A = this chain, B = another copy of it.
Amino acid sequence: MNLIKVTSQQVAERAGVSQSAVSRVFTPGASASKKTVKKVREAAEELGYRPNVLARAMVSGKSRIIGLVVGYLENQFYPEALEKLSNALQKRGYHVLIFLAEQNAENIDVVVEEILDYQVDGIIAASVSMSSNLSERCRAAGVRMVLFNRSQDDPNMSTVTSDNYAGGRKVAELLLAAGHRKIAHIAGWEGASTQRDREAGFIAALAEAGVTLHARGQGDFIMEKAAEATRVMFAADPPDAVFVANDHMALAVMDTMRFELGLNVPGDVSVVGFDDVPAASWPAYNLTTVRQPANRMVAETVDILMNQIEDNQSQPRRIAIDGPLILRGSSRIPEGWNT
């Protein structure tokens, strides 16, 4: 049917035109007469020609590759986000070079360098922290970056998150309204802005009601650690409500309560998570949570990145999208709340 590799030169010969004519036909926004286009398209079709993206990237300086750095995929929020991001980017003619980086500062440096080696047009870093050093490195290389679901103080860096602070507040308000007063928190990894913001909002709203945290455990976004924190917490003075920093941990927390500690959720204790991952709505958990609006987060992320790539003047943006509280069965329902 065709040769191993067909070049524009070969198409040109067959079509009886110059090689640059072929290039023009395949370059969006170039000029060629109808006749030329026809001849070239036919020849290309016959030969099974497709432009070599790498060669194009070399000369144009645009690879149409986006580097995507992801911390880990165990938390269902990330596969979902990855899928949406990749689709949105594909739709715009970009493709995704994926890099999995352990949450380790050494490593992330290496990863970013490797990404840069591919002359990517931009980088999306999901749930990874970036030293300003590194972001500086990218800027020097002319590569734009946006942080997804992670914020950073550096005002030069674009970030897209849900409004974690407001989300934390909503959880506190719900728990308070439901009459809880012995309210505990199981925290995620402290290095994450999501953790800090969620907890800050949560604590602030509690404080406004004159309530202080009854207990606090450290789960680091890891299921097993969250389970252990739960055991410890309930071995001491048990709370009557627990806000877990994300759904992923909350699932483990609920399992521990029910199957190890023999507790009834929400009868003995209310549990609220954050993210609204698919498993949160599974009947076995039916977890009350704050939804992170993944679709809108993805849309914003891609928009910002495209703007930065296409318009060099475009300023960094920092966006926090409000996410709704999803009231389900793992928490006591306050009287008079319209569910």
- A residues in contact (CB < 8 Å) with B: 1-5, 48, 50-55, 57-58, 63, 65, 68, 72-74, 76, 78-80, 82-83, 86-87, 90, 95-100, 113-114, 116-119, 136-137, 140-142, 251-252, 254-256, 258-260, 278-279, 282-285
Contacts and interface: CB of A to CB of B under 8 A. Distances in A.
Contacts of A74: 79-80, 278
22 contacts: A1-B137, A52-B117, A54-B54, A54-B57, A54-B58, A54-B63, A55-B58, A68-B98, A73-B83, A74-B79, A79-B82, A86-B100, A95-B97, A95-B114, A96-B98, A97-B98, A251-B284, A255-B282, A255-B284, A260-B283, A279-B279, A284-B285
Contact of A83 (B4, B63, B95, B100): B100
Contact of A54 (B83, B119, B252): B119
Nearest to A72: B83
A97 B96 contact: yes
A337 B117 CA distance: 55
Given A53-B117, A142-B5, A259 B283 contact: yes
Contacts of A53: 117-119
Contacts of A76: 76, 79
B73 A82 contact: yes
A281 to B, nearest CB: 10
Contacts of A256: 283
B50 A117 contact: yes
Contacts of A96: 97-98
A57 B252 CA distance: 46
A218 to B, nearest CB: 21
A76 B279 CA distance: 11
- Identify the interface centre among A142, A260, A284: most chain B CB within 10 Å of its CB: A284
Contacts of A117: 50-53
Contact of A99 (B72, B95, B113): B95
Contacts of A119: 52-54
A140 to B, nearest CB: 6
Contacts of A83: 72-73, 100
A32 B138 CA distance: 31
Contacts of A5: 141-142
